[in-house]
Amino acid sequence: MSFELSSSGDEIKLRFDAMASRNEIVVAGMDVPTGHSALRAAAAEVLRIEAKYSRYRVDSVVSRINESAGSELGVLVDAETAGLLNFSGQLFKSSDGLFDITSGPLRRAWDFRAARVPSNAELAPLLELIGWRQVEWDGRRIRLTRAGMQLDFGGIGKEYAADRAHAVLLNAGGRHGFVNLAGDLRVLGPRLNGAPWNFGIQHPRRPEATCAQVQLAQGALATSGDYERFFVTPDGRRCCHILDPRTGQPVSHWQSISVIAPTCAAAGALATIGMLRGPDAESFLREQGVAFLAVDPSARVHSHDVDLPLPDPRSPT
């Protein structure tokens, strides 16, 4: 893994690849040796999370759980994984079942590289395997009750990694900077002069352009959209990777939704739930008390600003 370290004034920057994306971590106000060490440790934490929870690695926790689907014993998990499972269960409940980490089986039907739309007959047996309520979870041991069930932490994995990298920087004494994992951000603190950092939100239809600028001194920003993995059918239907666990079909209303919240995991989950809720997303996000920016089917921008309750800087996440 190659790390690209650079310095400019009081800022030290690290660029690296992880989670199928190009990422950047910046700190300010740290001496060079300490800053380099902190940045490398934060990046290593991102890579650790990727290795532990990637569905593509046969030695990951997720793969071990999925391979045990249908067994009688299930899998005993560590405290970190238990926390993610508890959070996922809360998201399932608060989203009325829209955010469901058991939707992994749908990947067997949807092939975005081949640009193929699966038939209802293909989706029907997979939908029967989806549903957090079918999971037996007692806080320590998880059991996927039916063979073929699969967990997928893709909806919160990268955002959780940003939060964990943020915690590493805090523990190293960092107080100014940010973690940026392909646009999912956790801010450590403002610039040295107290000014906020300026971030651009990618335009969902113009890859080289932004649709808005956001200034943050603390908190987190995450975006969910229909432009990351998608294909367009001959009749003009846009099929993206965000799939409704109830129907197996891609979302079809918002082009993208960005959410500002105290943690990146919360921001990412709310952005994804907003995409899944379709036209009801704005009212739902207002109820959550978060700031958001949503791009509708006509590329119009809808935004809502609030005074955010920011996390205690001593908290690890």
Across the chain, which has 317 residues, the per-10-residue mean pLDDT values are 85 96 97 96 98 95 97 96 97 96 96 94 98 97 98 95 98 98 97 96 92 95 94 94 97 96 97 97 95 94 68 37
> Which residues lie below 8 Å from residue 242, measured CB to CB, with a gap of 6+?
224, 226, 250, 251, 272, 275, 276
Beta strands 256-261; 291-295: pairing state? antiparallel
pLDDT of residue 306: 57
Tell me, what's the pLDDT at 240?
Answer: 96
- The domains located in the chain, with CATH, are 61-152 (1.10.3980.10)
Unique residue bearing structure tokens 């993610």:
84
User: Could you give the angle at which helices 264-277 and 157-171 cross, rounded to 10 degrees?
Assistant: 160
Q: Which positions ≥6 away from 44 have C-beta within 8 Å?
A: none
- What's the token pair of residue 53? 């929870």
Residue type, 73: L
What letters, b where the CB count within 10 A reaches 16 and e where it falls short, cover 98-132? bbbbbbbbbbebbeeeeeeebeeeebeebbebbbb
Q: What is the pLDDT of residue 300?
A: 92
Do 219 and 226 form a contact (C-beta atoms < 8 A)?
A: no
DSSP letter string, 58-118:
TTSHHHHHHHTTT-SS-EE--HHHHHHHHHHHHHHHHTTTSS-TTBGGGGGT-BTTTTBPP
- Please give the single-letter amino acid code of residue 222: A
pLDDT at 3: 85
